[in-house]
Amino acid sequence: MMSGSTAKLVSSPVEYLNEAFEAPQTAYSENANIDPQVLPVRRTRAHELAGQVERLLTRMRIAVIYGGDKTEDGAVIYQSHNPRSWKSYRTVAEDIAASLRRMGCRYVSLMADDMRLAQRLQDEGIHFAWLNTGGVQGFCSVSHAPAILEMLGVPYLGHDPLTAGILDSKHTFKRQLMGLGIPTAEFMTWHGAGEPLNPCENPEFRRVFGDYKGPFIVKPVSGRASLNVEFVDDIFGLAPVAQEIFDLTQNHVLIERYLGGREFCVAACGPTIARDGELEKLDGPFTFATVERVLQEDERIFTSMDKRPITGKRVRQLDPLEDAEVIDQLNELGRKVFTDLNMETLVRLDVRADEDGRLFVLETNPKPDLKAPTEDGVTSLIAEGLTQCGMSYDDLILSLIADRVDLLLRQRRGSAGHLVELLTICEA
Ligand SMILES: Nc1ncnc2c1ncn2[C@@H]1O[C@H](COP(=O)(O)OP(=O)(O)OP(=O)(O)O)[C@@H](O)[C@H]1O
Ligand SMILES: [Mg+2]
C-alpha cells in the first residue's frame, strides 16, 4: 500500500464518478478552452493510471542510478578523459530514492553508472531504473546509461540516448532550435585540432556575427554548473579563452553573443502530474517553476552552484501579476521545446533576455538538479518553483514516475512486458 501524504491517489470509482464533471481547478496549467468531452476521458485514464502506479510501486524493484567514479577499482577498463565536468549526483539520487520509499516502493537500490551496472541490474532483479547520472567518462556520457538500459531491455525514467546526447551537446541542440525557429543566441564552434581561432579572418565568424564585435560568452559545448563559462569583452580576447577551454575539455568550444538582460528558468515535463498525491492528466506538457536567477550588479554569469549553493535569495519566484508577460513567454518556450523536440520527461530550460527584454534559450538541461529542499534553505531551481503550483517534492517525483509508467503502458508495451506481467500477478 502507498503511505503518507503522497498516497492520496483517487480512492474509489464512486468517488471518481462523483467528481467527474466538476470544472478543473488548475488555473496555471490548463487551457480554459479544452473540449469538455475530453475531461472525463482523461479523468478515467488518470484514475486507471493511479491504480497501476500504486501496484507497480509496491511490486517493482527500482534502481536509482548515479554517476560512477572512474577511479574506483572495477569501474572501467581504461580511465579516459571527461569532456564534461564529472559529478556523482549521488546525494540527489538518495533524495529521489527516499521519496520513492515514502510513496510506498518496497525495493529501491542505488547503483553507480559504470562497467558493473548490467551485472548489478541482473543480480538484483531490477525491473525499472531512474537515471540520475551524467555518465562516468568519455564523449556524450549522458547517453551511455540510457543506451545500456535500452540494450538490456530495462525500462527507465530519463531521456532516450539520442535526446540526452543532443541536449548535452549545446551546439547540436542550438542547431535544432534554429531549425525550429526557437530563439537562441547566435553562435559558432571552434575545435583546437583545426586552425587557430582568428576571428578577423574566419569566414564562419563573419557569417555568424557580421559587424558584432562583442561582448561574447565562450563555453564548453557540454558542461554543467556554469563551469568554464567565460565572459569575453571583444573579439581580441576570444582566441586565448577558447584555447583554454579546449585544453580543459578537448571538445568543441562554443562562442556566442552575450545576452545582457535578466535570466530565467522554466521546467517542462510530461502531461501526467500529481498534486497532493492525486494524479491528473493534462492535454499537453506541464510547464512550471518559472523563476528568475537573480544576478548581482556585477555578476554577468550566474555563479556555479558548486561555488555558491542555490537558495531562495538567488532564485526569485516570478510574480504572477508583475511578471505575467514573461511567465507566459517562458511557459510557451517550455511547451514548444518539449513538444517540438519530442521530449518525454523532465527538462529545465535556461533562458536569458537581451538588453531589449527578448528571450533566448541558452540551453535545456536533460537532467535538471532534483535536490530536495533542506531545512537550512538549500534547494534546487526546480524544487524552489514547486510550491507556487501547489506541489511538493514528493508530488514531483510521483508525477515523473506516473508519467513514465503511462508512456510505457500506452506506447511502449513491447518494451515493458515484464511490467505488464507485474501488474497482472496476484500478490501472494
Ligand atoms: N550567451 C549568453 N549570454 C549571457 N549569459 C550567458 C550566455 N551563455 C551562458 N551565459 C551565462 O552562463 C551561465 C551558464 O551557461 P549555461 O547554462 O549555458 O551552462 P551550464 O554550465 O550548462 O549551466 P548550468 O549551471 O545550468 O548547468 C548561464 O546561466 C548564464 O548566466
Ligand atoms: Mg545552464
Give me the mean pLDDT over the 83-104 stretch: 96
Can you point out the beta strands (E) in 242-302?
253-257, 263-269, 272-275, 278-281, 286-293
Complete domains list, the chain, with CATH? 187-257 (3.30.1490.20)
Q: Which residues line the pocket of ligand 1, CB cutoff 6 A?
A: 185, 217, 219, 223-227, 229, 256-259, 263, 301-302, 350, 352, 362-363, 365
The residue whose CA has the least distance to atom 26 of ligand 1 is: 225
At residue 414, does pLDDT exceed 90? no
For the CA of 227, the closest atom of ligand 1 is: 21
Concatenating the DSSP letter of every residue in 336-370 gives HHHHHTT--S-EEEEEEE-TT--EEEEEEESS---
Predicted pLDDT at 226: 85
Which grid coordinates belong to 15?
A: 468517488
Distance CA 184, CA 146 (A): 27
pLDDT at 17 over 60: no
Overall pTM > 0.85: yes
Q: Which pLDDT value is given to residue 245?
A: 95
Q: How many CB atoms lie within 10 A of CB 91?
A: 12
Give the residues across from 111 on adjacent strands: 65
Confidence bin at 362 (pLDDT 50/70/90): very high
pLDDT tens for each residue of 130-161: 999 999 999 999 999 999 999 999 999 999 99
Whether omega for the bond prior to residue 199 falls within 30 degrees of 0, making it cis, is no
Measured CA to CA, the distance from residue 394 to residue 98 in angstroms comes to 9
Under 8 Å CB-to-CB from 408, ≥6 apart: which residues?
Answer: 155, 415, 416, 419
Ligand positioned closest to the Cα atom of 255: 1
Closest ligand to the CA of 257: 1
> What pLDDT, in 10s, does the model give residues 235-275?
999 999 999 999 999 999 999 999 999 999 999 999 999 99
Confidence of residue 307 (pLDDT cuts 50, 70, 90): low
CA–CA gap between residue 168 and residue 131 (Å, rounded): 15
The pLDDT of residue 427: 56
Probe target for ligand 1 pocket from 292, 294, 350, with the most ligand atoms within 8 Å of CB: 350
